[in-house]
Amino acid sequence: MTHERREPDDAAHPVDAVLVRLAPLLVLAAVAALVALRASDLGPLLEVARLSRAELASDEDLFRSEPILGPESPILARLRSDHPPGTPVSLPLRGASVTRGQRFWIALLPEYPVASDAELVICALPCAEPGLELVERGSEFALMRRRAGGSGAARE
């Protein structure tokens, strides 16, 4: 196999010469048309962005929006109002709560580090861990505080 660029002069026949000149442009046109077709698939994404423009002016708005925290936003607001950045938070996730609970990561980190043994706990209701005291409730999740030596189900 040798690697030499095939120049238009390589084509002896006049029809070949035209084909050799046109073919690359036709290939580019085909690829560009495919790219345009793929770009047209972005319509719904752009429409959602346009419609939500008025509601999202900052990252805080973004975290409060339905695709991220939505009805769980009061938990984040309470955490921010009562506890300074750097306060660790435990965020155990199990079963059906995993996907929704993972949305807390982007809103919490890095200001509020996630740590297994933290005093504050954000858990899916009903929280399974005994000895928790309710601090703030969202829709499916709650902000709880671990009570030293506490036991029993979470109080609401």
Partner 1 sequence: MTGALPLIAWLALGAPTAFAFWRFRRRDLAVAVVPVAGWLAIALPPIAAPFSGAPLSSWISQSALASLGLGLASAALLGRRGTAAPPEAPAGSPWPMALSLAVLAAVAAGLVVVGEILAEGWPGYGWDGVAIWLVRARVLAESDALPTALFSEPLLREGHWDYPLALPALMAWYARVGGLGVQQMGIPLVHLAGLMPVATAAGLQRSLGWPLAAAAGLSPLAVPELLEYHLRAYADPSMVLVATGAVAWTALGTLRWERGPLLLAGLAWALVVSVKNEGALWLCAAAVGSVLLSSYRVLPPSERLAGLARLLVPGFLAFGLWRITCRKLAVEGTLIGGLHWDQAGERAPTLAAALVTHVFTAFGAPLMLACVAVLAWRLRGSFANRLLDGLVLLCIPIVFVAGLFAIYLGTPHDLAWHLATSLHRTVYGVLPAVFVMTLFAGSLGRGPR
- Pick out residues in 97-156 that bind partner 1 (CB under 8 A): 98-99, 102-103, 105-106, 109-111, 113-116
Q: Could you give the C-alpha distances from 80 to 72, 86, 95, in angstroms and in order? A: 13, 11, 27
Q: Is 93 in the site for partner 1 (CB under 8 A)?
A: yes
Q: Is 2 in the site for partner 1 (CB under 8 A)?
A: yes
* Cα–Cα dist 108/98, whole Å: 16
Q: Give the shortest CB-9-to-partner 1 separation in angstroms.
A: 8
Cis peptide before 110 (omega within 30 of 0): yes
Six-digit token pair at 153? 């189900």
* Cα–Cα dist 2/105, whole Å: 54
Q: Is 31 in the site for partner 1 (CB under 8 A)?
A: yes
Helix (H) or strand (E) holding 35: helix 14-40
Binding site for partner 1 (CB under 8 A): 1-8, 10, 24-25, 27-28, 30-32, 34-35, 38-39, 41-42, 45-46, 48-53, 55-56, 58-59, 62, 65, 67-68, 90-93, 98-99, 102-103, 105-106, 109-111, 113-116
